[in-house]
A and B are shown apart, each in its own frame.
Chain A
Amino acid sequence: MEIPETIKKKLTLPADEHFYAGHTACQGCGASLGLRYVLKAYGRKTIVTIPACCSTIIAGAWPYSTLDANLFHTAFETTGAVMGGIEAALKAMGYKVKGEDGIMVVGWAGDGGTADIGLQALSGFLERGHDAVYIMYDNEAYMNTGIQRSGSTPYGAWTTNTPGGKRHFLEKRHKKKVIDIVIAHEIPYAATASVAYPEDFIRKLKTAQKTPGPSFIQLFSPCPTGWRSPTDKSIEIARLAVQTAYFPLFEYKDGKYKINMPNPKKEPKPIEEFLKYQGRFKYMTKEDIEILQAWVNHEWEKLKKLAEVFG
């Protein structure tokens, strides 16, 4: 459908659509929204690599594809490596890669495929300096195989292999800070983003596009199926993750940290606000919530310090 010019002027996001209806994500899926924004930002001149994850399915079964962009499906742990190969081939074949008019090589992988099994290939990708953008959509568990914990699952969360119950077998480790591991590679650009703040996300995608070398964005993507949350609450939950500083928005560019919170002056809300709509946290005791809050406070203070010292 043609969008009238009058409406186009008011849009804060690109009007272009390269991710079509008919995809097979669950209702309220953050990942499908995220992928839609990526293609809005980069358009058709994009080569997307998707490993085994929910997005394998979301993109559609052969011979269909919901993506209006070239897409290579690959093995679970190989996103970083395949992107490297694609970028190298484009250069050998004489194409311009990245930048305003170059081809965008994009990796789109889940938290499991990034924080766990794909961490080695991600590290190699970052360290070799390929001109490409790696986006980790973080739904905090292995959703495609039925909600098992990943390294990115937060403390206190129920998953099918940390099921809670009488013996209280819940996830006992805090969320792996993949973004910190990424930044330790001292790449030119890394950022966190959230599907609840699409303008911020798209601005970050554009910054990644303009910055030569490897970029990394960790995108917070609610999963109502895995989080046991109402399908119409995904955006609200994602917003609360930011507002409670559970998942703060920030950028790391050329060695400098910059926090980009929607209301920078406001103190973060208590963590209970983030937990409230999500069935996955229902087994948490009062002490569990305190432990999680303490972790959030600690990480938030650390980030503020980093922004202060290296801002």
Chain B
Amino acid sequence: MEYKPIRKVVSGNYAAAYAVKDARVQVVAAYPITPQTSIIEKIAEFLANGEVENLQYVPVESEHSAMAATIGASATGARAFTATSAQGLALMHEMLHWAAGARLPIVMVDVNRAMAPPWSVWDDQTDSLAQRDTGWMQFYAENNQEVYDGVLMAFKIAETVNVPAMVVESAFILSHTYDVVEMIPQELVDEFLPPRKPLYTLTNFDNPISVGALATPADYYEFRYKLAKAHEKAKKVIKEVGKEFGEMFGRDYSQMIELYRTDDADFVFMGMGSLMGTVKQAVDILREEGYKVGAAKVRWFRPFPKEELYELAKNVQGIAVLDRNFSFGQEGILFTEAKGALYNTGAKPLMKNYIVGLGGRDFTVNDVRKIADNMKAVIEKGEIDVEVDWYHLKR
């Protein structure tokens, strides 16, 4: 079948909901929280209008139960989905470990929202990054199209390696902002994403199984190793699935770090999610003004694309890491990860951390220019002024 996209003007949240529908998800368990709520509302609307069949919608009483019910559904063999934000994701934390440990390919959308107090419903990546060590894969979407594509790819990748995956989008900047999204006709989605073939199910009554039992020190270690290996394998699968997606639908995701005009760049801006749209636009403008800059958008934070980062880092003089998040007592989380990944490689560009946009603070093209000027000075001097720069601080 020839691919003719279906163009719809949708919010990031509706893009997620359409992807859930097109992925033929069988169980959705969810609990409302701003700014995620419209995802689950839209899915309920699909049900109410008879636009989806064979979907069970479980309106649970908390996010902890949302993840628990999704886990139960996935262990039984169904394709299962949930979505949340900030406090909801934090409440799920225990169960995120459970999903990964039980090797369940659940897909969840997290709409990045700042953690309280003080209350804030606006964008901040600390909620999802705080789940770093739960064993989930994490994909950061730049725009609504990537939310839609991300959910479809996440199911395929998760179900190949039996590891759950989180698709992350920004509060309001994506979740509630409308944009054109090219959706894929159902038959082609079906071709790309066939029904799930579970690693195990709880429905083999001739040969019953037990999942998640106690493991003694003689065995627990190996369970962890296998999960670690699955993440290693995921890197390969992510690239393959991203390439296949590109071949089928024209949008290539074969790189875990999307490089933008980095070939001859002196230094690059590195970051994740929607802010990288602004950065790319700024790069175009700065290039016209004579700056030799590029952008490196980290799409997959887990597994971490160490090798791709090295390839980039050995060819640039500096990396300005933009973190819309913070790990207290240290620095921006992507900054730590990137520095750590390069330590033993021999690639030693100057690296500086800019903390930007926390709690929804605007981040504009002009901000990128100011950072570019600062970074240029740093490179000319050959040493960094401050390692962690709270860029927007009111002084």
Interface pair B60/A84, CB less than 8 Å apart: yes
Partner among A56, A72, A92 whose Cβ is within 8 Å of the Cβ of B202: A72
Interface pair A75/B211, CB less than 8 Å apart: no
A84 surroundings in chain B (CB, below 8 A): 29, 58, 60, 65, 69, 72
Interface pair A62/B73, CB less than 8 Å apart: no
Cα A73 to Cα B61 in complex, Å, equals 21
A124 surroundings in chain B (CB, below 8 A): 60-62, 65
Would A70 and B215 be within 8 Å (CB), given that A89-B26, A121-B61 are in contact? no
Interface pair B219/A71, CB less than 8 Å apart: no
Interface pair A85/B208, CB less than 8 Å apart: no
A68 surroundings in chain B (CB, below 8 A): 208
B213 surroundings in chain A (CB, below 8 A): 56, 59-65, 71, 73
Q: Using CB atoms, name the residue of chain B closest to A91.
A: B56
Interface pair B64/A92, CB less than 8 Å apart: no
Interface pair A47/B65, CB less than 8 Å apart: no
Partner among B58, B60, B203, B210 whose Cβ is within 8 Å of the Cβ of A73: B210
Q: Using CB atoms, name the residue of chain B closest to A71.
A: B210
B95 surroundings in chain A (CB, below 8 A): 75, 78
Is B94 at the interface (CB under 8 A from chain A)?
yes
A80 surroundings in chain B (CB, below 8 A): 65
Cα A74 to Cα B101 in complex, Å, equals 11
B72 surroundings in chain A (CB, below 8 A): 49, 72, 74, 81-86, 88-89
Would A70 and B203 be within 8 Å (CB), given that A61-B216, A88-B73, A89-B76 are in contact? yes
Cα A89 to Cα B73 in complex, Å, equals 5
Q: Using CB atoms, name the residue of chain A closest to B209.
A: A70
Count of chain B residues with Cβ under 8 Å from any Cβ of A? 43
Is B378 at the interface (CB under 8 A from chain A)?
no
Interface size classification for chain A: 35 or more
Within 8 A of B (CB), among A103-133: 103, 120-121, 123-124, 127-128
Interface pair A95/B203, CB less than 8 Å apart: yes
Is B329 at the interface (CB under 8 A from chain A)?
no
Is B23 at the interface (CB under 8 A from chain A)?
no
Cα A57 to Cα B72 in complex, Å, equals 20
B98 surroundings in chain A (CB, below 8 A): 74-75
Would A89 and B80 be within 8 Å (CB), given that A73-B210, A81-B68 are in contact? yes
Is B344 at the interface (CB under 8 A from chain A)?
no
Would A70 and B208 be within 8 Å (CB), given that A77-B64, A91-B56 are in contact? yes
Nearest CB of chain B from residue A149's CB, rounded to whole Å: 23
Nearest CB of chain B from residue A157's CB, rounded to whole Å: 28
Q: Report A36-71 CB contacts with B as 1/0, cut-off 8 Å.
A: 000000001101010000001101111111011111
Is A294 at the interface (CB under 8 A from chain B)?
no
Interface pair A85/B68, CB less than 8 Å apart: yes
Is A26 at the interface (CB under 8 A from chain B)?
no
Cα A80 to Cα B309 in complex, Å, equals 44
Is A184 at the interface (CB under 8 A from chain B)?
no
Is B75 at the interface (CB under 8 A from chain A)?
yes
Interface pair B75/A72, CB less than 8 Å apart: yes
Interface pair A85/B73, CB less than 8 Å apart: yes
Cα A94 to Cα B62 in complex, Å, equals 27
Nearest CB of chain A from residue B70's CB, rounded to whole Å: 6
Q: Using CB atoms, name the residue of chain A closest to B55.
A: A92
Cα A63 to Cα B219 in complex, Å, equals 9
Interface pair B212/A73, CB less than 8 Å apart: yes
Within 8 A of A (CB), among B59-107: 59-62, 64-66, 68-78, 80, 94-95, 98
Cα A124 to Cα B213 in complex, Å, equals 25
B204 surroundings in chain A (CB, below 8 A): 70
Interface pair B68/A78, CB less than 8 Å apart: yes
A62 surroundings in chain B (CB, below 8 A): 210, 213-216, 219
Q: Using CB atoms, name the residue of chain A closest to B62.
A: A120
Partner among B29, B65, B73, B208 whose Cβ is within 8 Å of the Cβ of A71: B208
Nearest CB of chain A from residue B214's CB, rounded to whole Å: 4
B66 surroundings in chain A (CB, below 8 A): 81
Interface pair A89/B27, CB less than 8 Å apart: yes
Would A85 and B27 be within 8 Å (CB), given that A60-B213, A74-B71, A121-B61 are in contact? yes
Interface pair A128/B58, CB less than 8 Å apart: yes
Nearest CB of chain A from residue B212's CB, rounded to whole Å: 4
Cα A243 to Cα B360 in complex, Å, equals 65
Is A90 at the interface (CB under 8 A from chain B)?
yes
Interface pair A88/B27, CB less than 8 Å apart: yes
Cα A72 to Cα B54 in complex, Å, equals 24
Partner among A47, A77, A121 whose Cβ is within 8 Å of the Cβ of B76: A47
Is A1 at the interface (CB under 8 A from chain B)?
no
Is A93 at the interface (CB under 8 A from chain B)?
yes
Cα A56 to Cα B212 in complex, Å, equals 9
User: 6 more A-B contacts (CB under 8 A) besides A85-B75, A86-B202?
Assistant: A47-B202, A60-B210, A67-B210, A71-B213, A74-B72, A84-B29
16 contacts between A and B (CB under 8 A): A60-B210, A65-B208, A65-B209, A72-B211, A73-B212, A73-B213, A74-B71, A75-B95, A78-B95, A82-B71, A84-B60, A85-B73, A85-B75, A85-B76, A88-B29, A93-B26
Give the interface of B toward A (CB within 8 A): 26-27, 29, 54-56, 58-62, 64-66, 68-78, 80, 94-95, 98, 202-205, 208-216, 219
Give the interface of A toward B (CB within 8 A): 44-45, 47, 49, 56-57, 59-65, 67-75, 77-78, 80-86, 88-95, 103, 120-121, 123-124, 127-128
